[in-house]
Amino acid sequence: MRKKIIAGNWKMNMTPSQAVALCAELKDLVKNDDVDVVYCVPAIDIVPVVNALKGTNVKVGAENMYFEEKGAFTGEISAAMLKDAGVEYVIIGHSERRDYFKEDDALLNKKVKKAIEAGLTPILCCGETLEQREMGITMDWIRMQIKSDLAGVAAADVAKLVIAYEPIWAIGTGKTATTAQAEEVCGGIRACIAEIYDQATAEAVRIQYGGSVNAGNAAELFAEKDIDGGLVGGASLKADFGKIVCYNK
Ligand code: PGA
């Protein structure tokens, strides 16, 4: 049985003091032993959030990292820095980074490998544009992303990984994929993992759905057999996140 994992993706929101206040506000609302709860926060919020969450059930994730060990990469943050600060998860390949910051699959593959080497759990994002969906190439595109991003990654590491399926047209638009659409692609990702690796790895890897998840649609999405939780943007910044985390209560 895979444990559900529900992660907030704060994106470029919350100053350090706002971040600490939000942790306090959500503290009692996000308790659910059936679920791993993660806040993926801006780099500057990591240290105060790690401190604010001490003694709670919530883990901290980063929204990005660089693949190099250390050195002259002005403005970047390494996997070792994240790990040392108390981070356990890192989002890799969010569509906003692929689009606005031109991160490609070759770069993301390096980031995935470095994160694993440092002992971080990648939350690897994939997803199609509306145009690709309408062309009927959704699954081809996502299989290509998964295969490229995981090239050379061992089965044992993939089993511990989190993959987030986020249709780009559903992010921040209020337009959620239907439960059937989300389940179809999450199942397709699992089949792809079984094909590249094996059935046991495919059964172990946790696959989230992301894109306009809210308190009203979370329970239905998370009830699907291949949807192991969610990556939540907008709704993670308010009390509603508690309802999403406690979707089964
Ligand atoms: P959203 O964002 O929930 O605001 O649609 C999801 C994400 O980008 O991870």
Residue ranges of the chain whose pLDDT lies below 50? none
Between the CA of 117 and the centroid of ligand 1 the distance, in Å, is 27
**What is the pLDDT at residue 101?**
98
In CATH, what number is assigned to the domain containing residue 179?
3.20.20.70
Residue positions annotated with a catalytic role: 94, 166
Question: Which pTM does this prediction carry?
Answer: 0.98
Q: Is the dihedral of CA 235, 215, 179, 59 positive or negative?
A: positive
The verdict on the CB of residue 5 being under 6 Å from ligand 1 is: no
pLDDT in tens, 193-246: 999 999 999 999 999 999 999 999 999 999 999 999 999 999 999 999 999 999
**HEC string for 27-69:** CCCCCCCCEEEEEEECHHHHHHHHHHCCCCCEEEEECCCECCC
Tokens of 24: 């306090």
Structural domain boundaries enclosing 206: 4-245
Domain count across the chain: 1
The verdict on the CB of residue 211 being under 6 Å from ligand 1 is: yes
The verdict on the CB of residue 119 being under 6 Å from ligand 1 is: no
